[in-house]
């Protein structure tokens, strides 16, 4: 049984990312065998992390531990990312900087949304993932804020993205399974 964490990295109030994450989980369950793989939402907004390096409050220290424990519990990940100034959200990068052994020798696939499907943010995240020894799959799903959202806020994805998601899931399952053998 593979455990996949669907990590939502935008904490902005009113964020578009939650609809994308919910679609990802719903469709991933539809396209997968429930006896073989599970999908769980990990919402960064549920973890009140401090900036890395700043002395945490007691509550933040608990959040750091919970974040580490939750992320460590998966075999692989789907990162859901927006694009902010051609990069990933600052909160997401900060949260990744708390991790290392939790994600080592695991696999990640990316789903982005933005003017150009968050393509640039995803590519920058590949470099970050490489340093975390987190293997990145080839297939992304890139949602356009212009054509996959109404008024850039109501998620209405084009049907062809389902085919992309199926391919992404196949790649993620293959690598997550393979990497289990070296952990």
Closest to ligand FMN by CB, 3 vs 86, is 86
Q: What is each CA distance from 167 to 69, 88, 119, 162, in whole angstroms?
A: 29, 23, 17, 9
Q: Which is nearer to ligand FMN, 37 or 87 (CB)?
A: 87
Site for ligand FMN contains 83 (CB under 6 A): yes
- Chosen residue from 12, 65, 101, 147 binding ligand FMN by CB under 6 A: 12
Q: Closer to ligand FMN at the Cβ: 86 or 180?
A: 86
Of 3, 70, 86, 126, the residue at the interface with ligand FMN (CB under 6 A) is 86
146 forms part of the interface with ligand FMN (CB under 6 A): no
Beta strands in the chain (DSSP E): 2-8, 37-43, 76-81, 106-114, 134-136, 141-144, 149-150, 154-155
Structure-token pair, residue 10: 């935008």
Sites of contact with ligand FMN (CB under 6 A): 10, 12, 15-17, 82-86, 114-116
């Amino acid at each position: 049984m593979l455990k996949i964490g669907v990590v939502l990295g935008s904490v902005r109030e009113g964020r578009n990312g939650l609809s994308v994450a919910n679609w990802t989980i719903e469709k991933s369950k539809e396209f997968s065998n429930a006896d073989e793989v599970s999908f769980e939402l990990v919402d960064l907004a549920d973890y009140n992390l401090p900036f890395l390096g700043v002395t945490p409050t007691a509550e933040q220290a608990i959040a750091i531990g919970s974040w580490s424990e939750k992320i460590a519990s998966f075999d692989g990940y789907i990162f859901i990312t927006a694009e902010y100034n051609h990069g990933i959200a600052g909160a997401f990068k900060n949260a990744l900087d708390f991790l290392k052994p939790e994600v080592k020798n695991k696999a990640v696939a990316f789903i982005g949304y933005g003017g150009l499907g968050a393509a640039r943010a995803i590519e920058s995240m590949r470099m970050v993932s490489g340093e975390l020894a987190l293997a990145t799959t080839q297939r992304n799903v890139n949602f356009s804020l212009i054509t996959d959202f109404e008024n850039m806020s109501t998620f209405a994805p084009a049907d062809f993205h389902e085919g992309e998601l199926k391919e992404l899931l196949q790649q993620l399952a293959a690598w997550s399974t393979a990497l289990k053998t070296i952990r």
